[in-house]
Amino acid sequence: MTKIAIKDAFDLAGETAIITGGGTGLGLGMAKCFVASGARVVLVGRRKAELDKACAALGGNAFALNGDVTKLETASSIIDRAEKLAGPISILINNAGVHLKKPATETSDAEFAKLIQTNVFGAFALTREAGSRMVARKSGSILFTASMASLMGIPLVVAYSAAKSAYIGMVRSLATEWGPHGVRVNAIAPGWIASDMLDQALSGDPARKSKILGRTPMNKFGEPDDVGWAAVYLCSPASKFVTGVMLPVDGGAAIGF
């Protein structure tokens, strides 16, 4: 058995990660943990001001890259520009996405297509481009940000549920196809994480907040770094024999009653 010090098991020094949607929310939370673990991070998003602000807070190992994952024809360019900024990409985190809360009977074809275009097609295009280079280098890690909607039936989010559930099929297929080439593919499924977005969603709706906490065994909301450190694990040497899995980070909500 190869001996490895615990500090080395989670060390990402020398790694370069792309995080889509990395300027705010969970993406920024993951970026903070990756930088703290020694990685260079390239934050990809459409809002340059948010990216610049995030990079200023993260320090010299963070780079802003203005890009739109829904423009599939730009996927190769995004990877090229990221590698010019920070070096060969060894980690890709597919975190960018859009949400839609609406009854299924009122969800239009265009709205459904937009969710699929951003969350599924956009993630696959980047994964194909980054993955082809990782396969050639015989090393790499790809992480999809899934959701509780990948695991359980949640009303009023049919398009979002379809998109996030598609991630699981992609993770399993790609892990099987690229595993022999040294590339691992996994997903992380955040539960209800404290954020401005969650505050807005629960504002004035104490019944919904109570329902969420009531089915969460730990009886609290998570923090962004709970997701960030789990992501570090899935992309670090500590998980070198882990691929094709979806890790819930949810305080037990997926198995609660």
Query: Catalytic residue positions?
Result: 160
- 165 token code pair: 């559930």
Terminal-residue alpha carbon distance, the chain: 41
Task: Give the Cα separation of 229 and 32 in Å (integer).
Answer: 9
Rounded to 10 degrees, the C-alpha dihedral 147/152/155/161 comes to 40
**CA-to-CA distance for 151 and 78, rounded, in angstroms?**
31
The CA distance from 80 to 164, in Å, is 27
Q: Which amino acid is at 257?
A: F
Whole-angstrom distance, CA of residue 190 vs CA of residue 252 = 11
What are the φ and ψ backbone dihedral angles of 35, each rounded to 5 degrees? Answer: -65, -40
Q: Judge contact between 172 and 150, C-beta under 8 A.
A: no
Listed in order, strand segments (DSSP E) in 25-70 are: 40-45, 62-66
Bin 123: left if φ > 0, else alpha if -120 < ψ < 50, else beta.
alpha
The one-letter amino acid at 179: G
